[in-house]
Every structure is written in C-alpha cells, then in structure tokens.
Structure 1
Amino acid sequence: MSDIRYTAATQLEHLHSRYTGTINADTEKYEWITHQHRDTSASIVGHPPLHSYLAVADGETKARVKFELTERMLQPCGPPPHKSDD
C-alpha cells in the first residue's frame, strides 16, 4: 500500500498554487491590502442584497455601483509602490 504522506510544506505549496489570494511569509503589505479590497468588492458584487444596499446608500443605480466596483478591482489600492534595489 503506497500511502503518500504530505508534509506541511507540500500542503502549503499546494494551497498557494490553488488559491492565489493566500498569503505567505513573503507577502508584502501592499499585496495583502490589495487582496482584501478585491475580495470585498467581489463579495459585494456577488451578493445582491449587499449590492442593493450599497446602491441605495450611495444614491446610485445598481448597474453604476457594479461597474465602479469591478473597475476598482483592477488597482484597488492604486499603483504598486516602487521597490528599491538594495
């Protein structure tokens, strides 16, 4: 019986390859915040009651709110910061 045992490292590697939003020790603050904003926007667009609530609260149409949220998913926190070469 060939019982393959996964170590913690291989399980974590599989998790990162399967789910792009999972973070690791090398994740920077900008990446983490970007993932949080994208997840929140996607959740609002994907749940009609939240989507309707936001449209009413902003005084906009549902289509306009959906458009703005999907546009904001491209760069939710602005352009990435410049990396210094040390």
Structure 2
Amino acid sequence: MSSELRYTANTQLEHLHARYTGTGHADLSKYEWLAHQHRDTLSSIVGHPTLLSYLAIADGEATGRVKFEMTERMLQPCGPPPKKDDD
C-alpha cells in the first residue's frame, strides 16, 4: 500500500470519527460496539412515530408503553458490562 493511499485512508477515518461519534475507535470493545448499535436502533424506533406505532400494534401494547420500555432498555441494551481484566 502506498504511503499516499494510507495517509488518505487515515485522514478519512479520522474525519468520520470526528463527525460521527458512533463510528467507534481502535480501543472500542465488542460489548461497547454492540451496545452502541442497540442504542442506535432503539433510539431510531422511538424517534420515528410510524415505526413505533407499528411495533405497538404488533405487540398489542400502547404506543407510550412501547416507547417507555425501549427508553428503559437503552440503559443497558446488552445486559451488564463484562468484567474488566486489570493487568
């Protein structure tokens, strides 16, 4: 890989990280990445009223109840974080 191409790829990646906070970084763990993905999905559902209504009808629940449950699930969307190994 040429140095120009590597420089361009790195600057584009840095630009993406600066512009979009959900793109992650080199030290991001699998759990953190997965939690971000789940939170993004839940917030998208809550933020789009038609999708929220669709899920409420499918579950047979009130729209407010579905919104509340999804907002609550954003706290720990993948369960408690794994134990960290301190070396």
TM class by shorter-chain length? 0.7 to 0.9
Alignment: residue pair count: 81
Decide which structure has greater helix share: 2
Deviation larger for 73-82 or 62-71 = 73-82
Residue 81 of structure 1: how far off its partner (Å): 0.7
Residue 28 of structure 1: how far off its partner (Å): 0.8
User: Which ranges in structure 2 are unaligned for 5 or more consecutive residues?
Assistant: 1-6
Once the two structures are superposed, the pairs formed by residues 26-45 of structure 1 within 5 Å of their partners are: 26-45=27-46
Is 1:50 aligned to residue 61 of structure 2? no
Is 1:60 aligned to residue 70 of structure 2? no
List, as ranges, runs of 4+ consecutive aligned residues in structure 1 with deviation greater than 2 Å: 6-20
Residue 8 of structure 1: how far off its partner (Å): 5.1
Is 1:80 aligned to residue 77 of structure 2? no
- 1:3 maps to none
Superposed CA deviations along residues 2-54 of structure 1, whole A, max 9, x for unmatched, are xxxx9654554453344321112321110111011001001111111110110
SS, match of residue 37 in structure 1: helix
SS, match of residue 27 in structure 1: coil
Root mean square deviation, CA, Å: 1.8
% identical aligned pairs: 77
Scaled by the length of structure 1, what TM-score is found?
0.79
Deviation larger for 57-66 or 11-20 = 11-20
